[in-house]
Amino acid sequence: MILLFFLLAVSVVSSGEAAFIGVNLGTDLSDMPSPTQVVALLKAQNIEHIRLYDADRAMLVALANTGIQVTVSVPNDQLLAIGMSNATAANWVARNVIAHVPATNITAIAVGSEVLTTLPNAAPVLVSALKFIQSALVASNLDRQIKVSTPHSSSIILDSFPPSQAFFNRSWDPVMVPLLKFLQSTDSYLMLNVYPYYDYMQSNGVIPLDYALFRPLPPTKEAIDANTFLHYTNVFDAIIDAAYFAMVDLNFTNIKVVVMESGWPSKGDASEPDATLDNANTYNSNLIRHVLNNTGTPKHPGVPVSTYIYELYNEDLRPGLVSEKNWGLFYPNGVPVYTLHLTSAGAVLANDTTNQTFCVARDGADRKLLQAALDWACGPGRVNCSPLLQGQPCYQPDNVMAHATYAFNAYYQKMAKSPGTCDFKGVAIITTTNPSHGTCIFPGSSGSNGTLVNSTSLAPSSNSSDTAGGCLAKYLYGSSPYTSSMILCVLLMTLAFL
């Protein structure tokens, strides 16, 4: 009987494709590292899928020739214009997609974000916006490469447990029915944001924390759908199956679900006691394993549910509750918020970069500030800067950015990567990409760390002296890379450390 219900209700089958884990970059790029540094982190973590909340040109250029699959987005504030004008949609595609492919591997366009629940006045033009975007892709022969859809909040699904009784909010039927027809006709997928954290928080104790976090449950604690007798061991699967059943309720049985956002905050205020590092690590680690195991859901076992984790970086400037700032896997300086419990070598996000970090000059940093910080590192900071002398391995490239990077990293490694040792008045940033080049091998490479020294000064202060031990600590770039006194100072300091 169970099998009969299953066969009658669904026709979604696995095509042999594997599920993937992607990441959301975040909404405020000004609060993040430069695009090149973001891409370096993606590569280091074997992340091959990323979702942008817009179509930022600098980010798309940085992603060129990486092979990383990119979902770009039409922001909500542009949706009305695109939904009311085919020409506006065509211009958007020309500017934000055609201008970047094939170098940048754009594979999907998310039109708006949770429009039905956050921007209901735009709902009447939502499907038109998707169709206009799709028409522009067809005209450029990109429709097979790039899928078009729109992310929904899972809150549009009502009566979500048991999943077999779920249905979409009836008031949105005039939008959902033509939307699902569009997805079906274009072989696209339903984009869904799934947050067991919020379901748990809003359940008033009905949903157990272990059930939300994918923790193992004894059979007696599993949730059972009385209509299908399917057993649910976690909230995530139950929500996905509720979406499938809601589509069945509208007579759509062959549209897959892709989760565009899911995660758990690592920090919260007093009203959010379960927003903790341990819970965030547990949820995201278990989510990644669950998705990559291709287990599917109880309704669709073996059918991949590709998922984008929200999000790559914490957003310190984001307004709202403390948790709103703390969904990231990494701090904006590139340091992991926590080390995921993953062991698969080479797997996405399985690289523990906690002890594989380097300190480099921040892209676009002011040259004078870099110069001052470099002087401090090679002077009061007591970094051995002799490899930067003319004729030495790290002399080239002969510019303040390259030399500052070497000096910053040498100090960072010497101080055992202690907190605050890679800031230098904001002109330095931590990266997981080894900056060594040619014969210039940076400290910290191949497990080589500098020696920890006793020091209370972890970064340049506004009143730092430009001298150390009576030596001038000033670098000059141009026709005379160093003053003779600087050369003498470095040599004396080198002898002092021998």
* pTM of this structure: 0.72
% of the chain with per-residue pLDDT over 70: 83
49-51 β-sheet, strand order: 147-149, 106-111, 69-74, 49-51, 21-24, 307-309, 257-262, 190-193, 151-153
Nearest to 372, CA basis, from 457, 458, 489, 464: 464
CA distance 15 to 48: 20
Active site amino acids: 114, 261
Average pLDDT over residues 437-466: 48
Average pLDDT over residues 472-494: 38
Query: For 10-14, 147-151, 179-183, 228-232, which range has the lowest pLDDT when averaged over its residues?
Result: 10-14
Q: What is the pLDDT of residues 343-399, one digit of tens each?
A: 654 567 765 554 567 889 988 889 999 999 999 999 988 899 999 999 999 999 999
Predicted pLDDT of residue 496: 38
Assign 425 a pLDDT band (cuts: 50, 70, 90): confident
Q: Is there a contact between 300 and 285 (Cβ–Cβ < 8 Å)?
A: no
Average pLDDT over residues 270-285: 91
Predicted pLDDT of residue 418: 74
Predicted pLDDT of residue 402: 93
Q: Please give the mean pLDDT across all residues of the chain.
A: 83
Peptide bond into 162 cis (omega under 30): yes
Between 435 and 115, whose confidence is greater?
115
Predicted pLDDT of residue 1: 34
Q: What are phi and psi of 120, to 5 degrees?
A: -60, -25
Predicted pLDDT of residue 470: 32
Between 134 and 481, whose confidence is greater?
134
* Largest pairwise CA distance in the chain: 89
Q: Is there a contact between 165 and 239 (Cβ–Cβ < 8 Å)?
A: no
Assign 422 a pLDDT band (cuts: 50, 70, 90): confident
Burial status of residue 54 (CB atoms within 10 A of its CB: 0-12, 13-18, 19 or more): middle
Average pLDDT over residues 330-336: 84
Q: What is the pLDDT of residues 26-84, one digit of tens each?
A: 777 667 888 998 998 898 888 999 999 999 999 999 999 999 999 999 999 999 999 99
Average pLDDT over residues 139-144: 95
Q: What is the pLDDT of residues 288-307, one digit of tens each?
A: 989 988 889 999 998 999 99
Predicted pLDDT of residue 492: 39
